[in-house]
Structure 1
Amino acid sequence: MLGREIVPGVHAVGAVDWDRRLFDELIPLPNGTTYNAYLIKGSEKTALIDTVDPSKKEELLRNLRKLEVRRLDYVVANHAEQDHSGSLPEVLAAYPEALVVTNAKCKALLIDHLHLPEDRFVVVEDEETLSLGDKTLVFKMAPWVHWPETMFTYLVEDKILFPCDFLGSHFATSELFAAQEQEIYLAAKRYYAEIMMPFRSHVQKHLERVEKLPLAFIAPSHGPVYHHPEFILSAYRDWSSDRVKNEALIVYVSMHDSTAQMVEHLAEALIDQGVKVTPFNLTFTDLGELAMALVDAATVVLGTPTVLGGPHPSALYAAYLVGALRPKTRLAGLIGSYGWGGRTVEMVSELLKPLRAELLEPVLVKGLPREEDLKKLEEMAKVIAQRHREWELLT
């Protein structure tokens, strides 16, 4: 970030990770990421908002030295996860006078994860303020976007919100501000889908609170700074709302073509009914792309062959993922084939329970689908389209 100025006295001092391609050993990062930290120089005190991933600690310290930061009074920890707080030990060693400002839950996690000494902490409550002289910080507790200890920091005089992971994007860029809006939109939607969507009700609550603030900038801990805050706020309003779109996702895997034939027939039947269809072949699918599609889709249908009495492992994982992400999907279905029997319906139904969606009558066939099986798929398509009409999605 090279110590770039957002407004006088406020600099971005974090790091760009151009090469990272996997987060938490789970989430694909096609565009890399940034670990954002922000330096605020008041007339009396200086504060650092968050740190960076431990792999980039030297870059953070180098940026602070370039800005000639000889004294650091406070390090605000909005979130205990290591990509934001992992460099705290090195920062505190470089600035022995600095105190960590955070809430009680975050303090406990930082002590557990980083073994920081208790005497280096200042614990704050919701809406508590901290004066840096001519700049004032307000702390706003924001649990479950996406950890229980998350908080936001608001800089009153410059109208800057530092929401940590909330409203962020995994997007490596040399630009300080979100100028590439289309690319940022897609990166932010992927980020929302993979990280924030399971906490949609909390997202709605915290979004309402944020929207009441006078905002000139939103400076998240991943991705560029939003110099037009309405861009990301309006996107989050849409994504986290209860509205779904006239779209059915068919998430499937096929071993000997039986399930693939069923998927093709169902897709054609849905198209005939006026429903937009997006198939995801799990053999090739980027799970981040699937997560993004789940943000809006009214219906999800899982297609799987039976393997050793249950769903194909890829389909099992996809069902678990859909259930864990808890999209606002209203309708869920299951199709597939089997050789002699199994517990596919029971296993998939259990994994999809967190969706709280209406479950369609499964269509499972023995071997290759026959004409009567294809008719059942056409009936499934009609039911899906009818539900979409009832939700006024078809125009």
Structure 2
Amino acid sequence: MKPRLIKEGIFWMGSLDWDRRLFDALIPLPDGTTYNAYLVQGQDKTVLFDTVDIPLVSEILDQLQDVERIDYVVSHHAEPDHSGGVPAILEKYPDAKAICTEKCKAMLIDRFEIPEGRFQTVVDGETMDLGGRTLEFLHTPWVHWPETMVTYMKEDGILFSCDLFGSHIASTDLFVRDKARVYEAAKRYYAEIMMPFAKLIAKHLERLAPYDIRLIAPSHGSLYDEPAFILDAYREWVSGKPHNLVVIPYVSMHGSTRMMVECLTDELVQRGVGVMRFDLSEVDIGKLAMALVDAATVVIATPTVLTGPHPKALYAAALANLIRPKAKYASIIGSYGWGTKVVDQVAAALPNLKVEILPPVLGKGIPKMEEKKALSEMADQIAERHQEL
């Protein structure tokens, strides 16, 4: 695509990756993604904020063909989907400097072997005058790597936020127009990438609160010309209370565990507790992660495979442990044939979750009256605890 005018002297550049369906060999991209870069022209200096992923560098070079001078290329984050074009930009503009944090500089040298003399590092809160446009560089470590920062442009009220507030979605809408679609994509992005750092993000949101932010320009997805839309969403995802919701990731080989899941679901619904179930044999992990943003309780349901949990149940436990949802309670249900160590192994896979483990329910073969009663009691315990949220 050709550069797109945001306002006088400020242009969107980058790539729309319509067909990409997997990120980091892990994260599903049902709607593709975008790699956003931004060209800002001051009276004295011209800056490019971020670039694109390595396979698409030729696109941003085409967009820059009529730009005679770039003084700085800001690398907010060293990950190649943002910094993949930095070496090519520095080659095209031999007088340009790469601006980044000290940690980012080290990562870019490691990844791209950029000469050290091409860098200009900035400290937290440092400002730069482009001539009529003032940049303030704000370090935001662990959003979502340790070297990241964002940039605030004072006169225009623009926050160049890199991955913060991003959404994996390919769209020709320069600004957010389909709010429902963007909300879901942004929540998926938060769940999969940002949720492990929720406490740090809360502090960054607090720091950004006094700034007059009139436009948020992330490195993935559409721009927010109504910043409250995404700021309010992040405040809820990061700091809001868990919902009256139980998420049940499950896998069932011969139907017994599924019967237990159906029994628990019915008992919970009768008590006014919401339930979201995910069949791990064909789950979209993004959907599961999104549900975990809101869940107060997680119940992992698994059959026993050679005395241990099904590998896909362990995968779900590992995912929950990795992204660290704000759930308050967790438990395990499942079936076995002759012996099981499911509870110990699943619980051991959840060290990062600060949850109360409710008494598990395991049954030999299909659930009998004893297991059904225990599932009913589990539903009672969950409903009582959810009233305290």
Instruction: Mark yes or no: TM-score above 0.5.
Output: yes
Structure 2: how far apart are the matches of 1:268 and 1:382? 12
Shift of 1:5: 1.2
Structure 2: how far apart are the matches of 1:36 and 1:212? 26
Aligned AA (1:40): V
Structure 1: how far apart are the matches of 2:367 and 2:245? 25
1:104 corresponds to: 102
Structure 2: how far apart are the matches of 1:295 and 1:62? 40
1:344 corresponds to: 342
Secondary structure, aligned partner of 1:93: helix
Contact 1:253 1:315 survives alignment (8 Å): yes
Structure 1: how far apart are the matches of 2:224 and 2:367? 52
1:46 corresponds to: 46
Contact 1:161 1:215 survives alignment (8 Å): yes
Structure 1: how far apart are the matches of 2:382 and 2:48? 52
Structure 1: how far apart are the matches of 2:234 and 2:210? 15
Aligned AA (1:69): V
Shift of 1:342: 2.8
1:279 corresponds to: 277
Structure 1: how far apart are the matches of 2:269 and 2:367? 20
- After superposition, the C-alpha distances for 1:7-46 in whole angstroms (9 at most, x for unaligned) are 1111001111000000000000000000000000011110
Structure 1: how far apart are the matches of 2:150 and 2:321? 28
Structure 1: how far apart are the matches of 2:281 and 2:101? 44
Secondary structure, aligned partner of 1:105: helix
Secondary structure, aligned partner of 1:183: helix
Q: Say whether 1:255 aligns with 2:253.
A: yes
Contact 1:242 1:328 survives alignment (8 Å): no
1:205 corresponds to: 203
1:56-95 equivalences under 5 Å are 56-65=56-65, 68-95=66-93
Shift of 1:103: 0.9
Structure 1: how far apart are the matches of 2:306 and 2:78? 42
Aligned AA (1:19): D
Moved more, 16-25 or 206-215: 206-215
Structure 2: how far apart are the matches of 1:242 and 1:355? 17
Structure 2: how far apart are the matches of 1:212 and 1:352? 37
1:369 corresponds to: 367
Q: Say whether 1:238 aligns with 2:227.
A: no
Structure 1: how far apart are the matches of 2:166 and 2:121? 25
1:307 corresponds to: 305
Structure 1: how far apart are the matches of 2:200 and 2:348? 24
Shift of 1:242: 4.1
Structure 1: how far apart are the matches of 2:214 and 2:274? 38
Q: Say whether 1:147 aligns with 2:145.
A: yes
2:131 to 126, 130, 133: 133
Structure 2: how far apart are the matches of 1:292 and 1:195? 11
Structure 2: how far apart are the matches of 1:219 and 1:30? 22
- After superposition, the C-alpha distances for 1:115-169 in whole angstroms (9 at most, x for unaligned) are 1100000011001011111111110000011000000011111110001000110
1:298 corresponds to: 296
Shift of 1:241: 1.0
What TM-score comes out, normalization by structure 2 length?
0.99
Secondary structure, aligned partner of 1:174: coil
Structure 1: how far apart are the matches of 2:218 and 2:387? 39
Aligned AA (1:62): D
Secondary structure, aligned partner of 2:352: helix
Structure 1: how far apart are the matches of 2:63 and 2:18? 17
1:355 corresponds to: 353
Shift of 1:194: 0.2
Aligned AA (1:217): L
Aligned length, in residue pairs: 389
Contact 1:177 1:224 survives alignment (8 Å): yes
What TM-score comes out, normalization by structure 1 length?
0.97
Moved over 6 A (4+): none
Structure 2: how far apart are the matches of 1:76 and 1:130? 12
- After superposition, the C-alpha distances for 1:251-303 in whole angstroms (9 at most, x for unaligned) are 10000111011000000000011101111111121110000000001111000
Structure 1: how far apart are the matches of 2:125 and 2:388? 44
Structure 2: how far apart are the matches of 1:250 and 1:221? 33
Shift of 1:86: 1.0
- After superposition, the C-alpha distances for 1:19-76 in whole angstroms (9 at most, x for unaligned) are 00000000000000000000000111100001110111111111112xx211110000
What root-mean-square deviation, in Å, do the aligned CA atoms of Structure 1 and Structure 2 show?
0.8
Structure 2: how far apart are the matches of 1:114 and 1:51? 14
User: Structure 2 unaligned runs (5+)?
Assistant: none
